[in-house]
Structure 1
Amino acid sequence: MKGTEVWIKVEGTRTDETGERETIVFETQGRLYRRGEAYYLFYQESELAGMEGTTTTLKLEPGRVTLNRMGSVSQKQVFEEGKVDRGEYTTPFGRMPCEVRPSRVEVSLTANGGHINLEYELLLAYQSLGFQVLRITIREAR
């Protein structure tokens, strides 16, 4: 697989029902390539996110992001504004139903990078984990 080698900055902020906020930021290298109208972004998850040994693939289309994780954690979710997506989150400890309720899905990319903004409510095992904001910035590695 070819494509562009890129630097990826992932910034995730979770706000729970009490208003408490937690932010995780990590940077990693990955690959970005285009097939048809969609871009694909591949990267390895970090220990910081609790998903070491997991490869994340994002299929990026205007107004739609498909997340696919494989490895120590597996998950497939589709983010589209106003559409609830139900999936499954699998860890070494078992499987749980996972649901996303996106309120904002923005994808702005070229072959050299760009950004993705996702805002959504996340439910795991039917319990809300609060409101999530995920910002991913992609730039060509030099």
Structure 2
Amino acid sequence: MTSIEKVPVLLSIRGEQYFEGVDPDATELMTEGTMELTESGMRLNYQETELTGMAGTSTTFEVRGPRVILTRSGKVNSQMVFEEGRQHTSLYETPFGELTVDIQTGRLRHNLSERGGVMEIQYSIAVEHTVTGRNRFKIRVRRKN
């Protein structure tokens, strides 16, 4: 796959987790990363920090039409596939072992272009086939000047 160019961007990432009987847990992260247009869509990349508990991990969101693939590599290794109305199963590697993760995407919207934009993904997650909660990502992408 050939990339056009990596453009420096500012990413505002808000993650929300909802568990039964517990107040929602939200984290917000402002970080620098890169955005590149690819033959099949677009790729966003950034380094995780202590705030997310995954320092030493590189995170990539690859937008390919109606599908978004989230790949983490480093201290945590995983690949999660988001496709509205579909379930995808993947392996999640942590320093403590491997887990099977089922991702059921309820909503996937984005207006990303070479100028930036917003991507929102709502999904439920099941670890070892037991639903553990609902999650939501909202990522704002802004080109750095």
Q: Structure 2 length normalisation: TM-score? A: 0.92
| 1:16 corresponds to which of 12, 19, 29 | 19
Question: 1:90: which partner in 2?
Answer: 93
- Alignment of 1:76 with 2:97, yes or no, is no
Q: Shift of residue 128 of structure 1?
A: 2.2
Q: Shift of residue 19 of structure 1?
A: 5.0
Aligned partner letter, 2:130 = Q
Q: Shift of residue 67 of structure 1?
A: 0.7
Aligned partner letter, 1:85 = H
Task: Report matched runs for 1:42-57 at 5 Å.
Answer: 42-57=45-60
**What whole-Å deviation, never above 9, does each CA across 1:74-124 have from its counterpart, x for those lacking one?**
001110011101001101111111111100011211112111100000112
Q: Tell me how far apart the structure 1 counterparts of residues 90 and 42 of structure 2 sit (CA, whole Å).
A: 22
- Alignment of 1:123 with 2:129, yes or no, is no
Question: 1:34: which partner in 2?
Answer: 37
- Alignment of 1:62 with 2:57, yes or no, is no
Deviates more, 1:70-79 or 1:18-27: 18-27
Question: 1:136: which partner in 2?
Answer: 139
Aligned partner letter, 1:110 = S
Q: Shift of residue 33 of structure 1?
A: 0.7
Q: Shift of residue 63 of structure 1?
A: 2.2
Asked if the contact 1:62/1:106 (under 8 Å) is kept, the reply is no
What are structure 2's unaligned runs of at least 5 residues?
none
**What whole-Å deviation, never above 9, does each CA across 1:36-70 have from its counterpart, x for those lacking one?**
24001110012111111000111113321111110
What SS does structure 2 have at the residue aligned with 1:52? coil
| 4+ residue runs over 4 A deviation | none
What's the % identity of the aligned pairs? Answer: 29
